[in-house]
A and B are shown apart, each in its own frame.
Chain A
Amino acid sequence: MAWTLLIIAGLLEVVGVIGIKRVSVHNNFTNNLILLGGFITSFALLIQAMESIPLSTAYAIWTGIGSVGAAVVGMLFYKEPKNTIRLLCILGVIGCVIGLRLVE
């Protein structure tokens, strides 16, 4: 259960990052709501997940999912480069998350 919460927390972090991008373009109520809503719910779930998952594992996975998610969103919607190196990095993060799950 804690691992499910941690993964959802990472995905909500991506929502917060989308909020940052949107606020930097247009500082309105909706975009601030996406930013704050994403991060507040993400932090709440991260805190829950940390009750049973060690600090370094939880933090690394949370920031890893956030980075992969932000990169995927960037590739799909913000014209960020889609090249082999980036795709390998995404697979690498996913592999490490699975690895951490196995050693924990």
Chain B
Amino acid sequence: MSGIGKAAKTSKPLSQNKAWAYVVAGGALEIVWATGFKYDEIPSILVLIALLTSFELVIRATKVLPVGTTYAVFAGIGTIGTVAVESFFSGGISLLKIGIILLLLLFIIGLKLTSGEDRH
């Protein structure tokens, strides 16, 4: 991961749309590695690749997108994704729990959007 800084410095500037595509792909991979931490159905090597790729994508995206917004979207995808995966794997999840998790997500998004890092 020490190559992250170097790779990002030498790469060409991304377009905003492409950067958002990176955030979404990074968020999707985040669901893969988080699920892999819990369930053996996802092979370790895939978890490792997903982990490194998702961080690399998000860090690249933050070079052209506001950091606060980027992390808010990233955390949102991971949170909602893991709720969906759990409902699928463990055959359901209580509505009360989903409610608390969504509320938690709302506070996280609030914190990220007000971090003052949205200036370029």
Contact = CB atoms under 8 A, between A and B. Distances in A.
Nearest 5 CB-CB pairs, A to B? A92-B107, A96-B104, A89-B110, A59-B82, A56-B86
Contact of B100 (A35, A46, A58, A99): A99
A71 B115 contact: yes
A27 B5 CA distance: 7
Given A81-B116, A89-B107, A50 B78 contact: no
14 contacts: A23-B4, A24-B5, A47-B37, A50-B37, A56-B79, A56-B82, A59-B34, A63-B78, A68-B111, A71-B115, A81-B114, A83-B114, A93-B107, A100-B97
Contacts of A43: 37, 51
Given A23-B5, A55-B82, A74-B115, 18 more contacts: A32-B1, A32-B2, A50-B38, A55-B35, A60-B79, A61-B104, A63-B79, A67-B71, A67-B108, A67-B112, A81-B115, A83-B114, A86-B111, A96-B103, A96-B104, A100-B97, A100-B101, A103-B96
A79 B93 CA distance: 40
A93 B111 contact: yes
B100 A100 contact: yes
Q: How large is the interface on A (under 10, 10 to 19, 20 to 34, 35 or more residues)?
A: 35 or more
Contact of B97 (A59, A68, A79, A103): A103
Interface residues of B, number: 41
Interface in B44-91: 51, 59, 71, 75, 78-79, 82-83, 85-86, 89-90
A2 interface: no
B94 interface: yes
B119 to A, nearest CB: 12
B111 A55 contact: no
Interface centre among B34, B71, B106, B117 (most CB of A within 10 A): B34
Nearest to B34: A59
A59 B79 contact: yes
